[in-house]
Amino acid sequence: MTARSAYHLLAKPAGAACNLGCRYCFFLSKENLYPAGERALMPDDVQEAHIRQLMESSFGPEIEVAWQGGEPMLRGLDFFRRSVALAEHYRPPGARVLHTIQTNGALIDDEWARFFKANNYLVGVSVDGPRDLHDAYRVDKQGRGSFDDVIRGWKALQRREVDANILCTIHAANEAHPLEVYRFFRDEMKARYIQLIPVVERATPETIALANRGWGGLRGSDRPLYTQTGSLVTDRSVKAGRFGQFLIAIFDEWVKRDVGRVFVVTFDVALGSWLGQHNSCIVSPTCGASLVMEHNGDVYSCDHYVEPDHRLGNVRETPLGALALSEKQRRFGDAKYETLPQYCRQCPVLFACYGECPRNRFVSTPDGEGGLNYLCEGYKAFFLHVDKPMRAMADLVRKGRYADEIMATAKAKASGGGAKA
- Report pLDDT for 420: 36
CA pair distance 138, 122, nearest whole angstrom: 22
Q: Tell me the pLDDT band of 274, cut-offs 50, 70 and 90.
A: very high
Mean pLDDT of 21-45: 92
Residue 403 predicted with pLDDT over 90: yes
231-250: pLDDT as tens digits: 999 999 999 999 999 999 99
pLDDT digit string, tens, across residues 316-361: 999 999 999 999 999 999 999 999 999 999 999 999 999 999 999 9
Q: In the structure, what pLDDT confidence band is assigned to residue 202 with cuts at 50, 70 and 90?
A: very high
Query: Which of 3.20.20.70, 3.40.462.10, 3.90.76.10, 3.20.80.10 is the CATH number of 8-198+262-339?
Result: 3.20.20.70
Q: How far is CA 315 from CA 33, 45, 46, 82, 202, in A?
A: 17, 10, 7, 19, 30
Asked if residue 209 has pLDDT above 60, the reply is yes
117-149 pLDDT, tens digit each: 999 999 999 999 999 999 999 999 999 999 999
Q: Quote the mean pLDDT of the chain.
A: 95
Determine the pLDDT at residue 419: 39
pLDDT in tens, 93-111: 999 999 999 999 999 999 9
- Mean of the pLDDT values across residues 53-57? 97
Label residue 5 by pLDDT band (50, 70, 90).
low
11 beta partners: 67, 293
d(CA 86, CA 84): 5
Distance from the first to the final alpha carbon of the chain: 57
Distances (CA, A) of 263 to 183, 254, 258, 279: 13, 9, 8, 14
Whole-prediction pTM value? 0.95
- Identity of the amino acid at 100: T
Which residues on adjacent β-strands are paired with residue 124? 102, 165
How far, in Å, CA of 55 to CA of 61, rounded?
11
Which pLDDT does position 216 carry in this prediction?
Answer: 85
pLDDT over threshold 50, residue 421: no
Residue 3 has a pLDDT of: 61
pLDDT of residue 222: 75
The sign of the CA dihedral 77, 78, 79, 81 is positive
Task: Write down the pLDDT at residue 224.
Answer: 87
CA distance 334 to 329: 9
For residue 39, pLDDT beyond 90: no
The one-letter amino acid at 336: K
Q: What are phi and psi of 417, to 5 degrees?
A: -95, 175
The whole-number average pLDDT for the span 85-100 is 97
Across 354-383, average pLDDT:
98
Helices (H), 2-71: 44-57
Phi (first) and psi of residue 203, to 5 degrees? -155, 160
Q: Which amino acid is at 382?
A: F
- Is residue 279's pLDDT more than 50? yes
Q: Omega of the bond prior to 70 within 30 degrees of 0, cis?
A: yes
235 alpha carbon, distance to own chain's centre? 21
- The mean pLDDT of 32-51, rounded to a whole number, is 92
What percent of the chain is predicted at pLDDT more than 90?
91
Catalytic residue ranges:
303
What pLDDT, on a 0 to 100 scale, did the predictor assign at position 217? 76
The candidate with the shortest Cα–Cα distance to 102, out of 202, 182, 195, 175, is 195
